[in-house]
Structure 1
């Protein structure tokens, strides 16, 4: 069975890129936070893609662990943007929810791969 995770993480990265382009128009604080979010948000999918070409089970797990960490970091930046009211909370709900779901999926894959 083929996983939709690579497509899903790519779509997440695309949404992050578009959102960060919007943020960069709103001043220095927004630009700084956008840079952090852009790095972590696009790294999730990049590491999932790399895992697809992993050389070993250990390498696969390692790439997914990095993807999971990056998803957690993305979630952090999204929460910070909402709490600090840089962006209205409702504007971030879908991205924050997707970050949470990706964390859960990646965590499950890592746990099952370690068994």
Structure 2
């Protein structure tokens, strides 16, 4: 998968979560969890774009680690929102699955990059 496809997927992911958040009923839990969810989900795409502009392989890996953390945080807040909005579980599960796919891609990339760096140094 090339970087443009991942840029588009991470942006679409942030947008789909934005649509989900807008559809939630207003209450104190949804308000607070949604605020966190907006930040971490939009950070996924922003930090992936930053990673694509990395100055070195170690810099690229470090930036991908941030993407990994933000995806994991996004999935956590999706789980919390699903718990308090059972009528939205199906759509939340779709977002969670996409987040998990993106997380798998990012983790596999980090593992491959680290292995390649080790081989290069050996």
The normalised TM-score by structure 2 is: 0.86
Q: Does 1:5 align with 2:6?
A: yes
2: CA distance, partners of 1:84 / 1:17: 17
RMSD of Structure 2 on Structure 1 (CA) = 1.5
**Residue matched to 2:37:** 37
Greater helix proportion: 2
For residues 20 and 55 of structure 1, do their structure 2 counterparts lie closer, same or farther at Cα, with a shift above 3 Å needed? same
Gaps of 5+ in 2: 116-122
Query: Following TM superposition, by how much is the alpha carbon of 1:29 offset from its aligned partner in structure 2, in angstroms?
Result: 1.3
Between the aligned partners of 2:2 and 2:39, the Cα distance in structure 1 is 27
Q: CA deviation at 1:27?
A: 1.7
> In structure 2, what is the equivalent of residue 78 of structure 1?
78
- Number of residue pairs the alignment of both structures matches: 114
Alpha-carbon distance in structure 1 between the residues aligned to 2:22 and 2:84: 19
Superposed structure 1 runs of 4+ greater than 6 Å apart: none
Aligned pairs for 1:1-115 (under 5 A) are 2-3=2-3, 4-23=5-24, 25-85=25-85, 87-115=87-115
Shift of residue 80, structure 1, vs aligned partner: 1.3
Q: Provide Cα deviations, 1:5-44, integer angstroms capped at 9, x if missing partner.
A: 1110010011112222223x42221111100111110101
